[in-house]
Chains A and B, each alone.
Chain A
Amino acid sequence: MSQSRNDLQDRRFGATFRTDSWWTEVLPVIIVFGGFGIYATWRAFQGVSYEFGPYLSPFYSPLIDAEHHWLPAWLSPALLILGAPLGFRTTCYYYRKAYYRAFFLSPPSCAVTGVGAGKYSGERKFPFILQNLHRYFLYLAILFIIILAYDAVKAFFFADGFGVGVGSLVMTVNVVLLSCYTFSCHSLRHIIGGKLDCFSCEVAGGARHKAWKGVSILNERHMLFAWASLVSVGLTDLYIKLLCEGTITDLRLF
Protein backbone atom coordinates (compact mmCIF):
# COMPACT_ATOMS: atom_id res chain seq x y z
CA MET A 1 0.00 0.00 0.00
CA SER A 2 1.22 3.46 -0.78
CA GLN A 3 0.02 6.86 0.28
CA SER A 4 0.99 10.22 -1.09
CA ARG A 5 3.48 12.44 0.72
CA ASN A 6 0.73 14.99 1.31
CA ASP A 7 -0.93 12.65 3.79
CA LEU A 8 2.15 12.88 6.01
CA GLN A 9 1.95 16.66 6.05
CA ASP A 10 -1.83 16.86 6.44
CA ARG A 11 -2.69 19.73 8.79
CA ARG A 12 -6.45 19.57 8.60
CA PHE A 13 -8.46 19.07 11.79
CA GLY A 14 -8.22 15.52 13.10
CA ALA A 15 -5.25 14.49 10.93
CA THR A 16 -3.30 11.74 12.66
CA PHE A 17 -1.69 8.36 12.15
CA ARG A 18 -2.67 7.28 15.65
CA THR A 19 -4.52 4.00 15.72
CA ASP A 20 -5.76 4.13 19.32
CA SER A 21 -9.04 5.75 20.29
CA TRP A 22 -7.52 9.11 21.24
CA TRP A 23 -10.91 10.85 21.47
CA THR A 24 -11.80 8.84 24.60
CA GLU A 25 -9.23 10.97 26.50
CA VAL A 26 -11.36 14.09 26.24
CA LEU A 27 -14.79 12.54 26.80
CA PRO A 28 -14.62 12.44 30.65
CA VAL A 29 -13.57 16.10 30.68
CA ILE A 30 -16.46 17.10 28.45
CA ILE A 31 -18.95 15.11 30.55
CA VAL A 32 -17.75 16.04 34.07
CA PHE A 33 -16.72 19.64 33.38
CA GLY A 34 -19.70 20.31 31.14
CA GLY A 35 -22.10 18.62 33.59
CA PHE A 36 -20.72 20.58 36.52
CA GLY A 37 -20.92 23.84 34.58
CA ILE A 38 -24.60 23.30 33.79
CA TYR A 39 -25.47 22.17 37.34
CA ALA A 40 -23.55 25.01 39.03
CA THR A 41 -25.08 27.69 36.78
CA TRP A 42 -28.59 26.37 37.40
CA ARG A 43 -28.03 26.21 41.17
CA ALA A 44 -26.43 29.64 41.35
CA PHE A 45 -29.37 31.24 39.56
CA GLN A 46 -31.96 29.34 41.61
CA GLY A 47 -31.38 31.30 44.82
CA VAL A 48 -33.19 28.74 47.01
CA SER A 49 -32.46 25.54 48.99
CA TYR A 50 -28.92 26.44 50.00
CA GLU A 51 -29.10 26.52 53.78
CA PHE A 52 -30.22 23.73 56.10
CA GLY A 53 -29.69 24.08 59.84
CA PRO A 54 -25.98 24.77 60.31
CA TYR A 55 -25.16 23.72 56.74
CA LEU A 56 -24.52 26.26 54.01
CA SER A 57 -23.96 25.32 50.36
CA PRO A 58 -20.46 26.20 49.12
CA PHE A 59 -22.04 27.88 46.09
CA TYR A 60 -23.58 30.44 48.46
CA SER A 61 -20.72 31.02 50.87
CA PRO A 62 -20.09 33.72 52.01
CA LEU A 63 -23.80 34.38 52.15
CA ILE A 64 -24.46 37.99 51.22
CA ASP A 65 -27.83 39.65 51.88
CA ALA A 66 -29.85 36.45 51.92
CA GLU A 67 -32.93 38.42 53.04
CA HIS A 68 -32.70 40.63 49.94
CA HIS A 69 -32.64 43.91 51.85
CA TRP A 70 -30.74 45.65 49.09
CA LEU A 71 -30.20 42.78 46.69
CA PRO A 72 -32.94 42.72 44.01
CA ALA A 73 -35.27 39.75 44.50
CA TRP A 74 -34.34 38.29 41.13
CA LEU A 75 -30.62 38.28 41.90
CA SER A 76 -29.38 35.16 43.64
CA PRO A 77 -26.71 35.86 46.30
CA ALA A 78 -24.56 33.14 44.74
CA LEU A 79 -24.06 35.28 41.67
CA LEU A 80 -22.24 37.92 43.72
CA ILE A 81 -19.46 35.54 44.65
CA LEU A 82 -19.43 33.13 41.74
CA GLY A 83 -16.71 35.07 39.91
CA ALA A 84 -13.97 34.15 42.35
CA PRO A 85 -14.14 30.34 42.23
CA LEU A 86 -15.08 30.43 38.57
CA GLY A 87 -12.11 32.66 37.75
CA PHE A 88 -9.81 30.50 39.85
CA ARG A 89 -10.77 27.33 38.03
CA THR A 90 -10.88 28.78 34.52
CA THR A 91 -7.41 30.28 34.86
CA CYS A 92 -6.00 27.18 36.63
CA TYR A 93 -3.05 25.71 34.72
CA TYR A 94 -4.53 22.23 34.92
CA TYR A 95 -8.03 23.15 33.79
CA ARG A 96 -6.56 25.22 30.98
CA LYS A 97 -4.95 22.07 29.65
CA ALA A 98 -8.19 20.14 30.08
CA TYR A 99 -10.48 22.60 28.34
CA TYR A 100 -8.08 23.69 25.62
CA ARG A 101 -7.98 20.05 24.64
CA ALA A 102 -11.61 19.05 25.24
CA PHE A 103 -13.52 22.19 24.25
CA PHE A 104 -11.14 24.19 22.06
CA LEU A 105 -9.64 21.10 20.38
CA SER A 106 -6.28 22.85 20.47
CA PRO A 107 -5.09 20.13 20.16
CA PRO A 108 -7.76 17.49 20.88
CA SER A 109 -5.02 15.00 21.67
CA CYS A 110 -1.27 14.65 21.15
CA ALA A 111 -0.16 14.22 17.53
CA VAL A 112 -3.72 14.89 16.35
CA THR A 113 -4.15 18.13 14.42
CA GLY A 114 -6.36 20.63 16.20
CA VAL A 115 -8.52 23.44 14.93
CA GLY A 116 -7.52 26.95 13.94
CA ALA A 117 -4.37 26.37 11.91
CA GLY A 118 -3.06 29.75 10.81
CA LYS A 119 -5.03 31.72 13.41
CA TYR A 120 -3.44 30.39 16.57
CA SER A 121 -2.04 32.84 19.10
CA GLY A 122 -2.09 30.72 22.27
CA GLU A 123 -2.11 32.81 25.40
CA ARG A 124 -0.50 35.86 23.82
CA LYS A 125 -3.64 37.81 22.98
CA PHE A 126 -6.93 38.84 24.59
CA PRO A 127 -8.79 37.08 26.17
CA PHE A 128 -6.32 34.28 26.89
CA ILE A 129 -3.55 36.67 27.90
CA LEU A 130 -5.63 37.25 31.05
CA GLN A 131 -4.69 33.73 32.17
CA ASN A 132 -1.53 35.45 33.42
CA LEU A 133 -3.55 36.88 36.31
CA HIS A 134 -4.23 33.45 37.82
CA ARG A 135 -2.34 34.33 41.00
CA TYR A 136 -4.92 37.00 41.85
CA PHE A 137 -7.66 34.40 41.77
CA LEU A 138 -5.44 32.30 44.01
CA TYR A 139 -5.40 35.08 46.60
CA LEU A 140 -9.21 35.18 46.48
CA ALA A 141 -9.41 31.38 46.64
CA ILE A 142 -7.33 31.34 49.84
CA LEU A 143 -9.84 33.80 51.33
CA PHE A 144 -12.65 31.47 50.31
CA ILE A 145 -10.89 28.51 51.96
CA ILE A 146 -10.87 30.43 55.25
CA ILE A 147 -14.61 31.15 54.86
CA LEU A 148 -15.46 27.57 53.92
CA ALA A 149 -13.39 26.24 56.83
CA TYR A 150 -15.42 28.50 59.12
CA ASP A 151 -18.63 27.08 57.53
CA ALA A 152 -17.37 23.55 58.08
CA VAL A 153 -16.71 24.23 61.77
CA LYS A 154 -20.16 25.82 62.07
CA ALA A 155 -21.66 22.68 60.56
CA PHE A 156 -20.92 20.88 63.85
CA PHE A 157 -23.01 23.29 65.92
CA PHE A 158 -26.71 22.53 65.74
CA ALA A 159 -29.64 24.29 67.46
CA ASP A 160 -29.26 21.82 70.35
CA GLY A 161 -25.49 22.19 70.61
CA PHE A 162 -22.44 20.34 69.28
CA GLY A 163 -23.11 17.31 67.15
CA VAL A 164 -21.99 15.43 64.08
CA GLY A 165 -24.30 14.97 61.16
CA VAL A 166 -23.49 13.44 57.81
CA GLY A 167 -23.68 16.99 56.48
CA SER A 168 -20.96 18.10 58.92
CA LEU A 169 -18.67 15.43 57.52
CA VAL A 170 -19.61 16.23 53.93
CA MET A 171 -18.73 19.88 54.47
CA THR A 172 -15.45 18.98 56.19
CA VAL A 173 -14.34 16.63 53.43
CA ASN A 174 -15.26 19.31 50.91
CA VAL A 175 -13.10 21.98 52.52
CA VAL A 176 -10.20 19.53 52.87
CA LEU A 177 -10.36 18.66 49.16
CA LEU A 178 -10.70 22.33 48.22
CA SER A 179 -7.66 23.13 50.37
CA CYS A 180 -5.64 20.38 48.68
CA TYR A 181 -6.62 21.84 45.32
CA THR A 182 -5.85 25.44 46.32
CA PHE A 183 -2.56 24.67 48.08
CA SER A 184 -1.31 22.58 45.17
CA CYS A 185 -1.65 25.55 42.80
CA HIS A 186 1.24 26.21 40.41
CA SER A 187 1.17 29.94 41.16
CA LEU A 188 1.45 29.26 44.87
CA ARG A 189 4.36 26.92 44.17
CA HIS A 190 6.07 29.80 42.40
CA ILE A 191 5.27 32.51 44.93
CA ILE A 192 6.15 30.46 47.99
CA GLY A 193 9.65 29.64 46.79
CA GLY A 194 9.82 28.51 43.17
CA LYS A 195 10.66 32.02 42.03
CA LEU A 196 13.99 31.95 43.88
CA ASP A 197 17.09 30.89 41.94
CA CYS A 198 19.04 30.16 45.06
CA PHE A 199 17.17 29.16 48.19
CA SER A 200 20.20 29.13 50.44
CA CYS A 201 21.17 32.68 49.43
CA GLU A 202 17.92 34.25 50.66
CA VAL A 203 16.67 35.32 54.05
CA ALA A 204 14.43 32.49 55.34
CA GLY A 205 15.52 30.52 52.27
CA GLY A 206 15.50 27.23 54.16
CA ALA A 207 11.88 27.71 55.21
CA ARG A 208 10.91 28.73 51.71
CA HIS A 209 12.64 25.68 50.27
CA LYS A 210 10.68 23.47 52.67
CA ALA A 211 7.43 25.26 51.78
CA TRP A 212 8.21 24.93 48.06
CA LYS A 213 8.94 21.22 48.51
CA GLY A 214 5.65 20.78 50.38
CA VAL A 215 3.62 22.56 47.72
CA SER A 216 5.50 20.60 45.04
CA ILE A 217 4.40 17.30 46.60
CA LEU A 218 0.78 18.46 46.54
CA ASN A 219 1.28 19.95 43.09
CA GLU A 220 2.12 16.55 41.61
CA ARG A 221 -1.48 15.60 42.40
CA HIS A 222 -3.01 18.87 41.29
CA MET A 223 -5.13 17.22 38.60
CA LEU A 224 -6.53 14.72 41.09
CA PHE A 225 -7.42 17.46 43.56
CA ALA A 226 -8.92 19.59 40.77
CA TRP A 227 -11.42 16.85 39.91
CA ALA A 228 -12.01 15.60 43.44
CA SER A 229 -12.78 19.09 44.74
CA LEU A 230 -14.99 19.91 41.76
CA VAL A 231 -17.08 16.81 42.38
CA SER A 232 -17.15 17.39 46.14
CA VAL A 233 -18.38 20.98 45.77
CA GLY A 234 -21.20 19.80 43.52
CA LEU A 235 -22.15 16.91 45.81
CA THR A 236 -22.04 19.07 48.95
CA ASP A 237 -24.44 21.51 47.34
CA LEU A 238 -26.65 18.67 46.12
CA TYR A 239 -26.74 17.14 49.60
CA ILE A 240 -27.89 20.41 51.16
CA LYS A 241 -30.39 21.02 48.37
CA LEU A 242 -31.96 17.59 48.89
CA LEU A 243 -32.11 18.19 52.65
CA CYS A 244 -33.86 21.52 52.08
CA GLU A 245 -36.36 19.95 49.74
CA GLY A 246 -37.05 17.11 52.18
CA THR A 247 -35.97 14.46 49.68
CA ILE A 248 -33.50 13.04 52.20
CA THR A 249 -32.96 13.48 55.93
CA ASP A 250 -29.67 14.24 57.59
CA LEU A 251 -28.39 11.43 59.74
CA ARG A 252 -27.14 12.67 63.13
CA LEU A 253 -24.24 10.45 64.10
CA PHE A 254 -24.20 11.91 67.59
Chain B
Amino acid sequence: MAEATLRVYRGDKDGGGHVDYKVPVAPGMVVLDALHYIQGHQAPDLAVRWNCKAAKCGSCSGEVNGRPKLMCKTRMDDLPLDQPITVNPLKTFPIIKDLVTDVSLNYRINKKIPAFTPRENTDWRMQQDDIDRVQEFRKCIECFLCQNVCHVLRDHQKTEEFGGPRFFVRVAGLDMHPLDSVSRTELLKDELGIGFCNITKCCTEVCPEDIHITDNAIIPLKERVVDDYYDPIMWVIRKLTGKK
Protein backbone atom coordinates (compact mmCIF):
# COMPACT_ATOMS: atom_id res chain seq x y z
CA MET B 1 0.00 0.00 0.00
CA ALA B 2 1.27 3.48 -0.87
CA GLU B 3 2.40 5.63 1.98
CA ALA B 4 2.17 9.38 2.43
CA THR B 5 3.89 11.71 4.85
CA LEU B 6 1.65 14.30 6.42
CA ARG B 7 3.48 17.30 7.84
CA VAL B 8 0.92 18.49 10.35
CA TYR B 9 1.06 21.68 12.38
CA ARG B 10 0.98 20.93 16.10
CA GLY B 11 0.75 23.77 18.57
CA ASP B 12 -1.37 26.45 20.19
CA LYS B 13 -1.33 30.22 20.67
CA ASP B 14 2.00 30.02 22.46
CA GLY B 15 3.78 28.36 19.56
CA GLY B 16 4.39 25.03 17.94
CA GLY B 17 5.76 23.43 14.82
CA HIS B 18 5.25 20.77 12.20
CA VAL B 19 5.39 17.07 12.93
CA ASP B 20 5.71 14.37 10.25
CA TYR B 21 3.40 11.35 10.30
CA LYS B 22 3.47 8.39 7.93
CA VAL B 23 0.05 7.24 6.78
CA PRO B 24 -0.95 4.31 4.54
CA VAL B 25 -2.97 5.60 1.60
CA ALA B 26 -6.19 3.71 0.88
CA PRO B 27 -8.26 4.17 -2.29
CA GLY B 28 -10.61 7.15 -2.13
CA MET B 29 -8.92 8.50 0.97
CA VAL B 30 -9.22 12.20 1.78
CA VAL B 31 -6.90 14.32 3.92
CA LEU B 32 -9.37 14.20 6.82
CA ASP B 33 -9.20 10.36 6.72
CA ALA B 34 -5.43 10.59 6.97
CA LEU B 35 -5.75 12.88 9.98
CA HIS B 36 -8.17 10.43 11.59
CA TYR B 37 -5.64 7.66 10.98
CA ILE B 38 -3.02 9.75 12.77
CA GLN B 39 -5.46 10.37 15.64
CA GLY B 40 -6.24 6.67 15.83
CA HIS B 41 -2.69 5.32 15.62
CA GLN B 42 -0.09 7.92 16.44
CA ALA B 43 -1.36 11.10 18.05
CA PRO B 44 -4.71 10.76 19.85
CA ASP B 45 -4.39 14.35 21.05
CA LEU B 46 -4.32 15.83 17.52
CA ALA B 47 -7.04 18.49 17.36
CA VAL B 48 -9.06 18.77 14.17
CA ARG B 49 -12.59 20.10 13.74
CA TRP B 50 -15.02 18.15 11.59
CA ASN B 51 -18.63 17.01 11.54
CA CYS B 52 -20.15 15.75 8.32
CA LYS B 53 -17.27 14.40 6.23
CA ALA B 54 -19.45 15.25 3.26
CA ALA B 55 -18.36 18.81 2.42
CA LYS B 56 -21.59 20.19 3.84
CA CYS B 57 -20.96 21.43 7.37
CA GLY B 58 -17.99 23.69 6.67
CA SER B 59 -16.07 22.59 9.79
CA CYS B 60 -12.93 20.96 8.40
CA SER B 61 -11.35 23.96 6.68
CA GLY B 62 -7.58 23.92 6.64
CA GLU B 63 -4.63 24.58 4.37
CA VAL B 64 -3.29 21.61 2.46
CA ASN B 65 0.04 22.26 0.75
CA GLY B 66 -0.65 25.94 1.33
CA ARG B 67 -4.06 25.92 -0.35
CA PRO B 68 -7.24 26.63 1.61
CA LYS B 69 -9.40 23.51 1.36
CA LEU B 70 -12.10 21.47 3.00
CA MET B 71 -10.01 18.56 4.25
CA CYS B 72 -12.88 16.12 3.78
CA LYS B 73 -13.08 17.07 0.12
CA THR B 74 -9.37 16.94 -0.66
CA ARG B 75 -8.45 13.54 -2.05
CA MET B 76 -5.04 12.12 -1.27
CA ASP B 77 -4.66 10.89 -4.84
CA ASP B 78 -4.90 14.47 -6.09
CA LEU B 79 -1.79 15.39 -4.08
CA PRO B 80 1.86 14.69 -4.95
CA LEU B 81 2.59 11.84 -2.53
CA ASP B 82 6.33 11.80 -3.22
CA GLN B 83 6.73 14.86 -0.99
CA PRO B 84 5.38 15.53 2.50
CA ILE B 85 1.87 17.04 2.48
CA THR B 86 1.72 20.11 4.67
CA VAL B 87 -1.46 20.47 6.69
CA ASN B 88 -1.87 23.81 8.43
CA PRO B 89 -4.66 25.55 10.33
CA LEU B 90 -6.34 28.56 8.70
CA LYS B 91 -3.81 31.39 8.77
CA THR B 92 -6.25 34.27 9.17
CA PHE B 93 -7.84 33.18 12.44
CA PRO B 94 -6.22 32.80 15.87
CA ILE B 95 -5.13 29.25 16.58
CA ILE B 96 -6.73 27.32 19.44
CA LYS B 97 -4.95 24.00 19.08
CA ASP B 98 -3.27 22.22 16.17
CA LEU B 99 -5.65 22.51 13.21
CA VAL B 100 -8.47 24.17 15.12
CA THR B 101 -8.82 27.95 14.91
CA ASP B 102 -11.09 30.48 16.55
CA VAL B 103 -13.43 31.70 13.82
CA SER B 104 -15.66 33.76 16.13
CA LEU B 105 -14.60 36.95 14.33
CA ASN B 106 -17.01 35.89 11.60
CA TYR B 107 -19.95 35.72 13.97
CA ARG B 108 -19.13 39.23 15.22
CA ILE B 109 -19.07 40.55 11.65
CA ASN B 110 -22.35 38.77 10.93
CA LYS B 111 -24.08 40.67 13.75
CA LYS B 112 -23.47 43.98 11.94
CA ILE B 113 -25.82 42.98 9.13
CA PRO B 114 -29.51 43.86 9.48
CA ALA B 115 -31.56 40.70 9.05
CA PHE B 116 -34.19 40.12 6.37
CA THR B 117 -36.84 42.81 6.80
CA PRO B 118 -40.00 42.34 4.73
CA ARG B 119 -42.08 45.33 3.69
CA GLU B 120 -45.31 46.01 5.55
CA ASN B 121 -48.26 43.97 4.25
CA THR B 122 -45.94 41.82 2.18
CA ASP B 123 -47.52 39.57 -0.39
CA TRP B 124 -45.48 36.44 0.24
CA ARG B 125 -45.74 35.09 -3.29
CA MET B 126 -42.49 35.29 -5.22
CA GLN B 127 -41.59 34.71 -8.85
CA GLN B 128 -38.81 32.25 -9.61
CA ASP B 129 -37.15 34.84 -11.87
CA ASP B 130 -36.83 37.15 -8.88
CA ILE B 131 -35.21 34.65 -6.53
CA ASP B 132 -32.92 32.75 -8.90
CA ARG B 133 -30.04 35.03 -7.98
CA VAL B 134 -30.35 34.77 -4.22
CA GLN B 135 -30.61 30.99 -4.25
CA GLU B 136 -26.95 30.78 -5.25
CA PHE B 137 -26.00 32.67 -2.10
CA ARG B 138 -27.99 30.28 0.08
CA LYS B 139 -25.56 27.50 -0.81
CA CYS B 140 -22.94 28.95 1.56
CA ILE B 141 -21.86 26.41 4.20
CA GLU B 142 -19.92 28.97 6.26
CA CYS B 143 -16.62 27.18 5.91
CA PHE B 144 -14.89 30.59 6.00
CA LEU B 145 -12.31 29.49 3.45
CA CYS B 146 -13.07 32.69 1.55
CA GLN B 147 -12.57 34.80 4.67
CA ASN B 148 -9.32 32.95 5.29
CA VAL B 149 -7.87 33.45 1.82
CA CYS B 150 -8.97 37.06 1.35
CA HIS B 151 -5.77 39.09 1.50
CA VAL B 152 -7.58 42.01 3.14
CA LEU B 153 -8.06 39.85 6.23
CA ARG B 154 -5.19 37.42 5.78
CA ASP B 155 -2.34 39.83 5.00
CA HIS B 156 -3.65 43.25 5.93
CA GLN B 157 -5.65 42.10 8.94
CA LYS B 158 -8.49 44.61 8.46
CA THR B 159 -10.67 42.58 10.79
CA GLU B 160 -12.52 45.57 12.22
CA GLU B 161 -12.97 47.59 9.03
CA PHE B 162 -13.77 44.85 6.55
CA GLY B 163 -16.66 42.41 6.34
CA GLY B 164 -15.12 39.88 3.97
CA PRO B 165 -16.48 37.79 1.12
CA ARG B 166 -18.74 35.48 3.13
CA PHE B 167 -20.62 38.48 4.45
CA PHE B 168 -20.84 40.16 1.08
CA VAL B 169 -22.51 36.95 -0.04
CA ARG B 170 -24.93 37.24 2.86
CA VAL B 171 -25.66 40.92 2.17
CA ALA B 172 -26.16 40.15 -1.54
CA GLY B 173 -28.69 37.46 -0.60
CA LEU B 174 -30.61 39.97 1.50
CA ASP B 175 -30.30 43.10 -0.63
CA MET B 176 -31.27 41.33 -3.85
CA HIS B 177 -34.21 39.59 -2.18
CA PRO B 178 -37.45 40.72 -3.85
CA LEU B 179 -39.30 41.06 -0.54
CA ASP B 180 -36.62 42.72 1.57
CA SER B 181 -37.08 46.41 2.28
CA VAL B 182 -33.74 47.50 3.72
CA SER B 183 -30.83 49.04 1.78
CA ARG B 184 -27.44 47.96 3.07
CA THR B 185 -25.24 50.10 0.83
CA GLU B 186 -24.19 52.46 3.61
CA LEU B 187 -23.24 49.47 5.75
CA LEU B 188 -21.29 48.00 2.82
CA LYS B 189 -19.41 51.21 2.18
CA ASP B 190 -18.62 52.13 5.76
CA GLU B 191 -18.79 49.33 8.29
CA LEU B 192 -18.12 46.41 5.96
CA GLY B 193 -15.55 48.37 3.93
CA ILE B 194 -16.36 46.82 0.56
CA GLY B 195 -13.90 49.31 -1.00
CA PHE B 196 -11.03 47.32 0.53
CA CYS B 197 -11.89 44.45 -1.78
CA ASN B 198 -9.84 44.76 -4.96
CA ILE B 199 -11.81 41.99 -6.70
CA THR B 200 -8.79 39.73 -7.05
CA LYS B 201 -11.13 36.73 -6.78
CA CYS B 202 -9.26 34.44 -4.40
CA CYS B 203 -12.52 34.00 -2.47
CA THR B 204 -14.19 32.66 -5.61
CA GLU B 205 -11.25 30.35 -6.29
CA VAL B 206 -11.50 28.61 -2.93
CA CYS B 207 -15.28 28.42 -2.42
CA PRO B 208 -16.18 24.72 -2.15
CA GLU B 209 -19.79 25.51 -3.01
CA ASP B 210 -18.70 27.16 -6.25
CA ILE B 211 -20.50 30.38 -5.39
CA HIS B 212 -19.35 33.05 -7.84
CA ILE B 213 -18.64 35.33 -4.93
CA THR B 214 -16.87 38.11 -6.80
CA ASP B 215 -18.90 38.20 -10.02
CA ASN B 216 -22.35 37.59 -8.57
CA ALA B 217 -22.16 39.11 -5.09
CA ILE B 218 -19.29 41.55 -4.62
CA ILE B 219 -19.23 43.32 -8.00
CA PRO B 220 -23.03 43.79 -8.11
CA LEU B 221 -22.84 45.17 -4.55
CA LYS B 222 -19.99 47.49 -5.50
CA GLU B 223 -22.17 48.76 -8.35
CA ARG B 224 -25.02 49.39 -5.90
CA VAL B 225 -22.64 51.39 -3.71
CA VAL B 226 -21.59 53.37 -6.82
CA ASP B 227 -25.27 54.15 -7.50
CA ASP B 228 -25.74 55.54 -4.01
CA TYR B 229 -22.37 57.20 -3.33
CA TYR B 230 -20.13 57.75 -6.35
CA ASP B 231 -22.22 58.24 -9.50
CA PRO B 232 -22.64 62.01 -10.05
CA ILE B 233 -25.58 61.63 -12.46
CA MET B 234 -27.46 59.39 -10.02
CA TRP B 235 -26.81 62.02 -7.37
CA VAL B 236 -28.35 64.74 -9.54
CA ILE B 237 -31.33 62.50 -10.34
CA ARG B 238 -31.86 61.85 -6.64
CA LYS B 239 -31.72 65.58 -5.90
CA LEU B 240 -34.20 66.39 -8.68
CA THR B 241 -36.68 63.64 -7.91
CA GLY B 242 -36.24 63.77 -4.15
CA LYS B 243 -35.95 59.97 -4.12
CA LYS B 244 -33.57 58.32 -1.70
Q: Does B175 contact A (CB under 8 A)?
A: yes
Q: Which of A45-53, A64-72, A93-101, A231-239 contacts B (4 or more CB under 8 A)?
A: A93-101
Q: Which residues of A contact B130 (CB under 8 A)?
A: 197-201
User: Do B86 and A110 touch across chains, with their CB atoms under 8 A apart?
Assistant: no
Q: Which residues of A contact B19 (CB under 8 A)?
A: 2
Q: Which residues of A contact B196 (CB under 8 A)?
A: 120-124
User: Do B200 and A187 touch across chains, with their CB atoms under 8 A apart?
Assistant: no
The interface bits of chain A over 25-46 (1 if a CB of B lies within 8 angstroms of the residue's CB, else 0) are 0000000000000000000000
User: Do B66 and A18 touch across chains, with their CB atoms under 8 A apart?
Assistant: yes
Q: Does B7 contact A (CB under 8 A)?
A: yes
The interface bits of chain B over 1-13 (1 if a CB of A lies within 8 angstroms of the residue's CB, else 0) are 0000001010100
Q: Which of B32-40, B102-110, B148-156 contacts A (4 or more CB under 8 A)?
A: B148-156
User: Do A117 and B7 touch across chains, with their CB atoms under 8 A apart?
Assistant: no
- In the complex formed, the residue of A with least CB distance to B229 is A132
- Which of A1, A16, A123 is within 8 Å of B197, CB to CB? A123
- In the complex formed, the residue of B with least CB distance to A117 is B155
Known contacts: A5-B16, A96-B198, A132-B230. The answer to whether A197 contacts B151 by CB under 8 A is no
User: Do B88 and A122 touch across chains, with their CB atoms under 8 A apart?
Assistant: no
**Considering the chains assembled together, what is the distance between the CA atoms of A111 and B67 in angstroms?**
7
**Considering the chains assembled together, what is the distance between the CA atoms of A70 and B104 in angstroms?**
66
**Considering the chains assembled together, what is the distance between the CA atoms of A194 and B133 in angstroms?**
10
Q: Which residues of B contact A114 (CB under 8 A)?
A: 151, 155
User: Do B201 and A17 touch across chains, with their CB atoms under 8 A apart?
Assistant: no
User: Do A111 and B202 touch across chains, with their CB atoms under 8 A apart?
Assistant: yes
User: Do A120 and B223 touch across chains, with their CB atoms under 8 A apart?
Assistant: no
- In the complex formed, the residue of B with least CB distance to A219 is B215
| B contact patch SS | mixed
- In the complex formed, the residue of B with least CB distance to A101 is B200
Q: Which residues of B contact A17 (CB under 8 A)?
A: 63, 65-66, 86, 88
**Considering the chains assembled together, what is the distance between the CA atoms of A93 and B217 in angstroms?**
13
Q: Does A8 contact B (CB under 8 A)?
A: yes
B31 to chain A, nearest CB (A): 14
Known contacts: A111-B149, A197-B178. The answer to whether A5 contacts B129 by CB under 8 A is no
**Considering the chains assembled together, what is the distance between the CA atoms of A17 and B91 in angstroms?**
11
- Within A91-118, which residues are at the interface with B (CB < 8 Å)? 93, 96-97, 100-101, 106-107, 110-111, 113-114, 116-118
Known contacts: A93-B219, A200-B127. The answer to whether A19 contacts B83 by CB under 8 A is yes
User: Do B67 and A18 touch across chains, with their CB atoms under 8 A apart?
Assistant: yes
Q: Does B209 contact A (CB under 8 A)?
A: no
Q: Which residues of A contact B202 (CB under 8 A)?
A: 107, 110-111
- Within B199-244, which residues are at the interface with A (CB < 8 Å)? 199-202, 205-206, 214-215, 219-220, 222-227, 229-231
Q: Does A154 contact B (CB under 8 A)?
A: no
Known contacts: A8-B9, A18-B66. The answer to whether A123 contacts B198 by CB under 8 A is yes
**Considering the chains assembled together, what is the distance between the CA atoms of A111 and B197 in angstroms?**
15
- Which of A106, A129, A220 is within 8 Å of B195, CB to CB? A129
- Within B140-163, which residues are at the interface with A (CB < 8 Å)? 149, 151-152, 154-156, 158
Q: Which residues of A contact B44 (CB under 8 A)?
A: none
User: Do B18 and A3 touch across chains, with their CB atoms under 8 A apart?
Assistant: yes
**Considering the chains assembled together, what is the distance between the CA atoms of A128 and B193 in angstroms?**
14
Q: Does B28 contact A (CB under 8 A)?
A: no
**Considering the chains assembled together, what is the distance between the CA atoms of A101 and B193 in angstroms?**
20
A74 to chain B, nearest CB (A): 34
**Considering the chains assembled together, what is the distance between the CA atoms of A209 and B178 in angstroms?**
13
**Considering the chains assembled together, what is the distance between the CA atoms of A199 and B200 in angstroms?**
29
Known contacts: A4-B15, A197-B177. The answer to whether A118 contacts B220 by CB under 8 A is no
**Considering the chains assembled together, what is the distance between the CA atoms of A8 and B89 in angstroms?**
9
Starting from the known contacts A111-B202, A132-B225, A197-B130, 16 additional A-B residue pairs (CB-CB under 8 Å) come to A18-B65, A19-B65, A20-B65, A100-B200, A106-B151, A110-B205, A111-B68, A111-B154, A113-B154, A122-B197, A124-B196, A132-B229, A133-B231, A186-B219, A199-B127, A200-B129
Can you name 21 A-B pairs with beta carbons within 8 Å? A1-B20, A5-B17, A106-B198, A111-B63, A113-B151, A117-B156, A120-B196, A122-B152, A123-B195, A123-B197, A133-B230, A133-B231, A135-B226, A186-B219, A189-B220, A190-B223, A190-B224, A195-B227, A198-B130, A201-B130, A220-B215
B-to-A contact residues, CB < 8 Å = 7, 9, 11, 14-20, 63, 65-68, 80, 83-84, 86, 88-89, 91, 95, 127, 129-130, 149, 151-152, 154-156, 158, 175-180, 193, 195-202, 205-206, 214-215, 219-220, 222-227, 229-231
